């Protein structure tokens, strides 16, 4: 099957999970069939453009491992690939003229006030809302000429045929029928001469020979307008694929509180691109069986439209964290350390963790400590990161989890201090440990375990808990963390003696 798809975002905001999923499905479908993936920038809505958003779009795609064969940055047989440039090249003007000459489009000259009055009338009388012709759908040429002579600002609208059934053959939902009498006449060309999505996207899809249009199900209501336009121009529509919305685990439409944030925000938050791409691909698509953890190559090999689901996909942050944790543990030690250090050193990370909604976590400062340790004691920092690998779900977890390794005096949990450092045997335990460690350059994991077990046996402790918990709190400030004997060996005698001495003061 010959496949040409397009990801056609508007640079009005940085890509979020929903629209980046569309880009991913385009990419996977093209890869699966050995087709062509096109990046097209739909920037005709000049009032809503945000500087830098096109760069964010490209960066998001690259970060997640997606590529394209034609686009603004690399050209192609149907260039240009920005709609503003295509408009300037006059690509849309000819088709508007064809539609006007055939009577499939018409000029309309209502003022904004008249349109508002029309909508109010429809609402009050519980009529279908939209523009169904007004006085201009059937206006005579002389009426149009008179309006233009008077300098009235007009738009060009599609004349949706009346009294017939418009059929959408959707790849996910099958046949959907629309009564054309309920479909309003959309604007094709705005008063400022800019084409709307209804015109530009459909003309571009035809001229760029797009075979499949993957887009959100919110466009189903507009699909009959687009089919009517294709038919008016005598073109065969592409196959429409309307993917369902993404919801949170509470069943409500995805919002920022569910994690619907800019895709690039997942990078400083510590998510791996391969994990995020894997996760997003499975929101509304199934490869069959129980497969979940899949590389991009595996996703492309398995991806077909048959696996797309008609029901809403769910953004489950817990599943993303589980998946990301798996990918972290799949990294080799050096690869993991390189990624953590790169994240810690990135200005993007500093900016993200200094935002108002993240600053209180203190993660930014902890990343700074990690970066300094990576510069001054790279081997020590690498071993600390690797030691925490099993407990991390994001790369950002390493900053607070490793903090006690990289500061002279870790912050103490008051409850842990009260519970474990006030026990009667603790001062003697700390004194004996400092004595045993004094003058040593290093100590092995096995030696650390033997020190604690021997002290417990010598002092009549059958269980090791009353021994290991006070030591852990003294060394890390917390009751949780990686294996105690391993972290003791990594801290080394000097650091342990200093921390035991400080803890002895409050024991």
As a whole number of angstroms, the distance between CA 492 and CA 438 comes to: 11
Q: What is the pLDDT of residue 253?
A: 82
Domains of the chain as residue ranges with CATH: 4-87+246-315 (3.40.50.620), 90-243 (3.40.50.620), 332-406 (no CATH), 414-504 (1.10.10.350)
- Inter-residue contact 42 to 200 (CB < 8 Å): yes
Give pLDDT tens digits for 66-111: 999 999 999 999 999 999 999 999 999 999 999 999 999 999 999 9
Q: pLDDT-based confidence at 259, cuts 50/70/90?
A: low
Q: What is the pLDDT of residue 45?
A: 86
Q: What is the pLDDT of residue 190?
A: 95
Give the distance, in angstroms, between the CA of residue 353 and the centroid of all CA atoms in the same chain: 17
Q: What is the pLDDT of residue 385?
A: 98
481-484 long-range contacts, Cβ below 8 Å, gap at least 24? 481/391, 481/401, 481/404, 482/387, 482/388, 482/390, 482/391, 483/387, 484/448, 484/452
Give pLDDT tens digits for 166-177: 999 999 999 999
As a whole number of angstroms, the distance between CA 217 and CA 223 comes to: 10
Share of the chain above pLDDT 70, in %: 99
Average pLDDT over the chain reads 95
- Inter-residue contact 433 to 496 (CB < 8 Å): yes
Give pLDDT tens digits for 359-386: 899 999 999 999 999 999 999 999 999 9
Q: What is the pLDDT of residue 155?
A: 97
As a whole number of angstroms, the distance between CA 221 and CA 311 comes to: 17
As a whole number of angstroms, the distance between CA 213 and CA 216 comes to: 10
- Inter-residue contact 461 to 428 (CB < 8 Å): no
pTM above 0.85, yes or no: yes
| pLDDT surpassing 90 at residue 507 | no
- How far CA 128 is from CA of 104, 118, 157, in Å, comes to 22, 11, 18
- Inter-residue contact 71 to 28 (CB < 8 Å): no
Average pLDDT over residues 460-487: 96
With CA atoms as reference, report the closest residue to 413 among 424, 405, 404, 426: 404
Q: Name the residues annotated as catalytic.
A: 256
Exposed/middle/buried for 270, CB within 10 Å: 0-12, 13-18, 19+?
Answer: buried
As a whole number of angstroms, the distance between CA 36 and CA 29 comes to: 9
With CA atoms as reference, report the closest residue to 250 among 316, 323, 322, 320: 316
Q: Could you write out the three-class secondary structure of 346-378?
A: CHHHHHHHCCCCCHHHCHHHHHHHHHHHHHHCH
| pLDDT surpassing 90 at residue 486 | yes
Phi, psi of 229 (to 5 degrees): -65, -45
The answer for residues whose C-beta is within 8 angstroms of residue 279's C-beta and 6 or more apart is: 319, 320, 323, 324
């Amino acid at each position: 099957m010959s496949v040409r798809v397009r990801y056609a975002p508007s640079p009005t905001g940085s890509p979020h999970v929903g629209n980046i999923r569309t880009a991913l499905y385009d990419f996977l479908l093209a890869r699966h069939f050995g087709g062509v993936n096109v990046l097209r920038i739909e920037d005709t809505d000049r009032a809503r453009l945000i500087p830098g958003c096109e760069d964010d779009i490209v960066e998001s795609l690259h970060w997640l491992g997606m590529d394209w064969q034609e686009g603004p940055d690399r050209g192609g047989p149907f260039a240009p690939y920005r709609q503003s440039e295509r408009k300037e090249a006059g690509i849309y003007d000819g088709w508007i003229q064809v539609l006007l000459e055939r009577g499939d489009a018409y000029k309309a000259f209502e003022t904004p006030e008249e349109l508002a009055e029309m909508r109010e009338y429809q609402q009050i009388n519980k009529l279908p809302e939209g523009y169904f012709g007004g006085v201009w759908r059937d206006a005579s040429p002389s009426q149009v000429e008179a309006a233009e002579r008077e300098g009235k600002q007009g738009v060009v609208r599609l004349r949706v045929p009346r009294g017939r059934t418009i059929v959408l053959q959707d790849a996910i939902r099958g046949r959907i029928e629309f009564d054309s009498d309920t479909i309003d006449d959309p604007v094709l060309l705005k008063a400022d001469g800019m084409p709307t999505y209804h015109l530009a996207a459909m003309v571009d899809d035809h001229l760029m020979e797009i075979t499949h249009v993957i887009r959100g199900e919110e466009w189903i209501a507009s699909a009959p307008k687009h089919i009517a336009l294709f038919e008016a121009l005598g073109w065969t529509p592409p196959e429409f694929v309307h993917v369902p919305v993404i919801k949170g685990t509470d069943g409500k439409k995805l919002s920022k509180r569910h994690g619907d944030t800019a895709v690039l925000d997942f990078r400083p938050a510590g998510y791996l691109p391969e994990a995020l791409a894997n996760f997003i691909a499975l929101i509304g698509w199934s490869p069959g069986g129980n497969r979940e953890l899949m590389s991009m190559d595996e996703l492309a090999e398995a991806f077909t439209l048959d696996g797309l689901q008609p029901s809403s996909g769910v953004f489950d942050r817990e599943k993303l964290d589980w998946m990301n944790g798996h990918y972290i543990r799949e990294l080799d030690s050096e690869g993991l350390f390189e990624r953590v250090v790169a994240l810690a050193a990135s200005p993007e990370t500093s900016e993200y963790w200094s935002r108002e909604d993240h600053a209180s976590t203190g993660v930014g400062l902890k990343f700074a400590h990690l970066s300094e340790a990576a510069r001054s004691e790279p081997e020590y920092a690498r071993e600390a990161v690797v030691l925490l690998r099993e407990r991390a779900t994001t790369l950002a977890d390493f900053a607070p989890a490793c903090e006690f390794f990289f500061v002279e005096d870790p912050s103490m949990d008051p409850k842990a201090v009260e519970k474990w450092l006030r026990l009667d045997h603790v001062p003697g335990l700390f004194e004996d440990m400092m004595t045993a460690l004094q003058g040593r350059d290093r100590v092995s994991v096995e030696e650390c375990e033997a020190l604690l077990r021997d002290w417990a046996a010598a002092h009549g402790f059958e269980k090791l808990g009353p021994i290991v918990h006070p030591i852990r709190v003294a060394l890390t400030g917390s009751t949780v963390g990686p294996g105690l004997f391993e972290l003791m060996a990594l801290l080394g005698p000097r650091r342990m003696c200093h921390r035991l001495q400080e803890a002895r003061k409050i024991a």
